[in-house]
Amino acid sequence: MTPHQVFDRIEAADRPEAWIELRSREDVLAEVATVDPTLPLAGLLFAVKDNIDVEGLPTTAAAPTYTYLPTSDATAVARLRAAGAVVVGKTNMDQFATGLVGTRSPFGAVRNAWAPDRISGGSSSGSAVAVALGMVDFALGTDTAGSGRVPAALNGIVGVKPTKGLVPITGVVPACYTQDCVTVFARDLGLARAVAEIMEGPDAADPLSRPAVERPSLSRRPRIAVPTPDHLDGLAAGWKEAFGHAVELFARAGAEIVEVDITPLLDAAKLLYEGAFVAERYAAVGEHIEQHAGDLDPTVASIILAGKDKTAAEWAADTARLAGLGTAGDELLKDCSALLTPTTTWHPTLDEVAADPVGANSRMGRFTNFANLLDKSAIAIPAGMVNGLPFGVMLTGPAFADRQLAELAQRFLNPQLEIFVVGAHLSGQPLNWQLVQAGGTLVTATETAPEYRLHALDTVPPKPGLRRVDSDGTCIAGEVWRLPAAGFGTFVAAIPGPMVIGSVQLQDGSTVSGFLAEPFALEGAPDISHFGGWRAFLAAPRAPEREPANV
């Protein structure tokens, strides 16, 4: 978006509570004019949660008594500005990043982008709403307990929570120093991931920062864990059904779905606020709160000050317990690429949170609180609407599985279908261009289960015909290609007879769509199964009439 479009949308949205500090239209225009247009984020406009430093703009962490003027950008912000992005302003938040509701701020409760009577989610409330309402291209948040994911779900956008340490937290007001992450909100997954990757990389000023570790590529049929039904009790009306639909869509996208008892993870989640780890919040800003408690949000102040009473013995005991729960959780998920859950459990109104600020907030983090404690990566994505409000799901994976989670999310958001080909559509064969033109990409070379026969058909160009048999079958070589749903439909619609699309079982036991031949076309067609595949048949010595059309 252009600066004029951004500021026009900010004015039209009339959501002043989303912002704590907003730059002038003229200043942003002037900075955009100096950006090198060849940079990867050239001219993109972004917002920054107000616990992240931007040079020349006050940092308040939503506490006016805490205000200071930074003389340099946080490392994450500096890297984005170096890539051509321009800061529009600082966004509102739950004070000292303590909350998942977006209402704990003297600058006002941030209203939901879709329903102003409901919460936006926190603590990165203003950043999420700014993105959802199109006021910026993307925004930065932070995440300790779910603050980069819950607001994404409640506002219908993407929230990327990188593995701890991938994005340095230099220049970030700490909530829990060892558990904090800088996160990204965007309406588009590709942009969110691009921004996250630009911010990645160690920083000498942040001793907890670390480089990415390469993980194995995502398999063609990844295994995704989902909670057992009892762990979905208590979801908002319609959410359990919406989650079930999302699970079905992941399965259609090629994932193997397995139910897992995630009790160890949920028990670990409780330790973030109910255990001794809340002492980190006191270590971060406790002295300031003691000096200014009367000027601060009472719920935030009570939570943080309670951390002062935690003992070293309690911390040691909770650390040991957390390690055990983490090991148990890893064992349950060891064969899975990711855990799929609802992002949060409900979407309360502003009045419901005001009536029970602690209880309402505690329900929000059931599926998010454990991620940073157990060193997980996570991504929150939209999954439709329920009763006129956004519903979101979340993929959580091991440390450094960030790219794999993004690929899984992309398969869900932009469904792709697979097809098995055995003849003229193989790589290098005369009709392969049709797959490429439809947006197809080669996934793997493989074989069918040993239940098929292959015949040479009398067509132009020459093609084989695959048929399934009850006995005397063999494995037939071919390729699996992946196409976007629209491209798949276009491709299949153009297939002439006698070819048809049916289900083909592969050697690994999975089933995909694939080319089969109508029975009438196989009458008198030579059986070439003993060659093991079309390429081997074409390469074998044969009579002139068997020369392939593309030779």
Query: What is the set of active-site residues?
Result: 49, 123, 147
Task: Tell whether the torsion through CA atoms of 158, 164, 168 and 170 is positive or negative.
Answer: positive
Spatial neighbors of 523 by CB under 8 A, at least 6 apart, are none
Tokens of 501: 């699309």
Task: Tell whether the torsion through CA atoms of 79, 85, 90 and 92 is positive or negative.
Answer: negative
Tokens of 158: 């993407």
On whether the CB atoms of residues 139 and 332 are closer than 8 A, the answer is no
In the numeric block, the tokens 């502003």 are attached to 350
The b/e string for 402-425 (b: 16+ C-beta within 10 A; e otherwise) is bbbbbbbbbbbbebbbbbbbbbbb
SS3 328: helix
Tokens of 209: 């920062």
The b/e string for 264-295 (b: 16+ C-beta within 10 A; e otherwise) is bbbbbbebbbebbbbbbbbebbbebbeeebee
Residue type, position 284, single letter? A
Strand partners, 22: 89
Please name which of 473, 475, 465, 470 lies closest in space to residue 508, comparing C-alpha atoms. 475
By DSSP bridging, strand 181-186 and strand 223-227 are unpaired
CA distances from 278 to 177, 274, 284, 314, 519 (A): 11, 8, 10, 11, 69
Please name which of 355, 339, 271, 284 lies closest in space to residue 101, comparing C-alpha atoms. 355
On whether the CB atoms of residues 394 and 149 are closer than 8 A, the answer is yes
CA distances from 487 to 413, 433, 482, 516 (A): 15, 13, 10, 20
Strand partners, 506: 448
